[in-house]
Amino acid sequence: MKRARIEYMGDVLSVVINDGGNALTQDNQEIPQGQFTWLSPIENPGTIFALGLNYADHASELAFEPPKEPLVFLKGGNTLTAHQQPSYRPDDIEFMHYECELVAVIGKEAKNIKREQALEYVDGFTICNDYAIRDYLENYYRPNLRVKSRDSLCPIGPWIVDTADIKELDNLKLTTHVNGELTQEGNTSDMIFDVPFLIEYLSSFMTLKPGDLIATGTPKGLKDIHPGDVVRCSIEGIGSLENPVLSENDFYARR
């Protein structure tokens, strides 16, 4: 099941998305795609955990040794934006790139969870595009806030897919297209630390809460992104997340 949040005729609705891409409300009203606005699928996001260098091919691409322990950093809720909503490229930077990532959405409180039970604590999975401003990257062991915590630079969605509907979590194809051109391709099988491991790891020293998000890193394939670009991140079995990119002035003028 694909569960989403939308805005329709001034109301915020929790809906199911059918195979035709239309929204089904709780009273079984069908709203055609194109007639509603997508919202972030997580109504009350909690802590946003993100992984650096969690794909072996991406670590190799950047000439880093694969980490022996998860490189986890936190992101602000201000970074989240919805499917089809704009992100922006900051002024006076040299290199901004996308990062297509599988996101686990925590569904119930988790503390000291073993990997064998970890997926029981996941409400479902979605996609994020965790943009990075490489100009300010000091190193992957200390990600700078200016790299990873800007407004709108973590699009998420379009929906949450139930965990039970994803048959091979460790074998999902990821792709990114920029203006229709394939620029990134990978597979979750290349993750260094998989979702069950990450839940076991994080819950060993803190309590995970419903609405917490774990963005699991990105495979190799970098491209500088500019205003006017449209970036589409896709994950097999989940869907596609697409966002236009504006200039900084245009973005804030619209808010």
Digit-by-digit pLDDT tens for the chain (255 residues) are 999 999 999 999 999 999 999 999 999 999 999 999 999 999 999 999 999 889 987 656 665 677 889 999 999 999 999 999 999 999 999 999 999 999 999 999 999 999 999 999 999 999 999 999 988 776 655 557 778 899 999 999 999 999 999 989 999 999 999 999 999 999 999 999 999 999 999 999 999 999 999 999 999 998 999 999 999 999 999 999 999 999 999 999 998
Angle, CA of 234, 235 and 241, to the nearest 5°: 35
Indicate if 120 and 216 belong to the same structural domain: yes
Indicate if 82 and 135 belong to the same structural domain: yes
Indicate if 169 and 100 belong to the same structural domain: yes
Which pLDDT belongs to residue 212? 98
CB 90 within 8 A of CB 96: yes
Which pLDDT belongs to residue 139? 60
How many C-alpha atoms does 31 have within 13 Å on its Cβ side?
23
Angle, CA of 60, 62 and 64, to the nearest 5°: 65
249, with CB counted inside 10 A (0-12, 13-18, 19+), is: exposed
Indicate if 4 and 109 belong to the same structural domain: no
Phi (first) and psi of residue 137, to 5 degrees: -75, 110
Which pLDDT belongs to residue 150? 93
Indicate if 115 and 166 belong to the same structural domain: yes
Indicate if 32 and 50 belong to the same structural domain: no
CATH number at residue 30: 2.30.30.370
Phi (first) and psi of residue 221, to 5 degrees: 120, 95
How many distinct structural domains can be found in the chain?
2
Indicate if 211 and 126 belong to the same structural domain: yes
Provide the residue range defining the domain that includes 22: 1-39
CB 39 within 8 A of CB 158: no
CATH number at residue 185: 3.90.850.10
Indicate if 127 and 192 belong to the same structural domain: yes
Which pLDDT belongs to residue 255? 86
Indicate if 24 and 62 belong to the same structural domain: no
Which pLDDT belongs to residue 135? 82
| Amino acid identity for residue 73 in this structure | F
Indicate if 32 and 46 belong to the same structural domain: no
Look up tokens 């203006």; give the residue.
179
Indicate if 34 and 48 belong to the same structural domain: no
Instruction: Cite the DSSP H helix spans in 68-140.
Output: none
Indicate if 32 and 56 belong to the same structural domain: no
CB 172 within 8 A of CB 166: yes
